[in-house]
């Protein structure tokens, strides 16, 4: 079963090439559908497992609050057998080792080799919520109302927006993002109040005015 999750290595490379910090795909098992979030380790983020390649988060599509987080590489899921068995409702029996191997082989067939552009609304909501939490933001902040230039770092250079903020804007406001993506020193500001949201034209006009 060496490199049983080889697709994770290929997917990670494609995510890095596209500057995506998170990806998602659907996994069906035991008559249930799961949204699987694939997350890169970023900057100085610490790994629990030395040889982990990525983080995976399984979310029950019927109840997104029911989740299981796992570090993984191309050879293994780093999780104890009991937690994996209980989450996926795998009954205990004498052939449990064989059943778990079959589970991993089955799961490996669902892992894409590259970023999948076409996603369900549920997947997009799960991705945006995860990006917000990773950026220490309220996951209900979905409505962009302005962009702002980041402050200076200790060395005097301007701080760049986080990859989480970058990806969130790319998903929620693709046109606005396309106009400002090269401005690495600005962040996109989101509110949880829909009434705060501004149009692309207003945000861009205010950005130009504030630059003068």
The yes-or-no verdict on residue 145 having pLDDT over 90 is: yes
Helices (H) then strands (E): counts for the chain: 7, 7
- Which percentage of the chain shows pLDDT scores above 90? 80
In degrees rounded to 5, what are phi and psi of residue 182? -80, -15
In sequence order, the β-bridge partners of residue 67 are: 59
For 157-212, write each residue's pLDDT tens digit: 888 999 999 999 999 999 999 999 999 999 999 999 999 999 999 999 999 888 75
- What is the rounded (10 degree) CA torsion for 27, 94, 2, 60? 20
Is the Cβ–Cβ distance between 180 and 186 less than 8 Å? yes
Could you give the CA distance from residue 197 to residue 190 in angstroms, rounded to a whole number? 8
- Is pLDDT larger for residue 145 or for residue 93? 145
**C-alpha neighbours within 13 Å on the C-beta side of residue 68:** 21
Q: Where are the alpha helices (DSSP H) in 19-162?
A: 81-87, 96-108, 121-134
Average pLDDT over residues 110-135: 94
Mean pLDDT across the chain: 93
Residue 126 binned pLDDT confidence (cut-offs 50, 70, 90): very high
Residue 55 binned pLDDT confidence (cut-offs 50, 70, 90): very high
- Is pLDDT larger for residue 60 or for residue 2? 60
Could you give the CA distance from residue 29 to residue 49 in angstroms, rounded to a whole number? 26
Average pLDDT over residues 135-152: 93
- Is pLDDT larger for residue 154 or for residue 61? 61
Could you give the CA distance from residue 144 to residue 176 in angstroms, rounded to a whole number? 10
Could you give the CA distance from residue 111 to residue 38 in angstroms, rounded to a whole number? 10
The yes-or-no verdict on residue 52 having pLDDT over 90 is: yes
């Amino acid at each position: 079963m060496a490199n049983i999750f080889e697709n994770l290595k290929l997917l990670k490379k494609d995510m890095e090439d596209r500057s995506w910090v998170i990806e998602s795909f659907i996994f069906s098992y035991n008559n249930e559908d799961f949204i699987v979030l694939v997350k890169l380790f970023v900057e100085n983020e610490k790994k629990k497992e030395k040889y982990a390649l990525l983080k995976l988060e399984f979310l029950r599509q019927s109840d997104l609050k029911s989740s299981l987080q796992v570090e993984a590489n191309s050879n293994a899921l780093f999780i104890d057998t009991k937690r994996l068995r209980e989450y996926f409702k795998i009954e205990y029996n004498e052939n449990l080792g064989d059943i778990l191997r079959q589970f991993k082989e089955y799961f490996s067939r669902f892992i894409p080799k590259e970023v999948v552009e076409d996603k369900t609304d549920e997947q997009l909501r799960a991705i945006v919520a995860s990006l917000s939490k990773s950026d220490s933001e309220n996951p209900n902040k979905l409505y962009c109302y302005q962009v702002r230039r980041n402050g200076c770092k200790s060395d005097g250079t301007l701080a760049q927006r986080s990859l989480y903020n970058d990806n969130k804007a790319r998903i929620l406001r693709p046109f606005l993002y396309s106009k400002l993506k090269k401005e690495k020193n600005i962040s996109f500001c989101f509110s949880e109040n829909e009434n705060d949201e501004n149009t692309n034209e207003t945000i861009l006009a205010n950005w130009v005015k504030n630059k003068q």
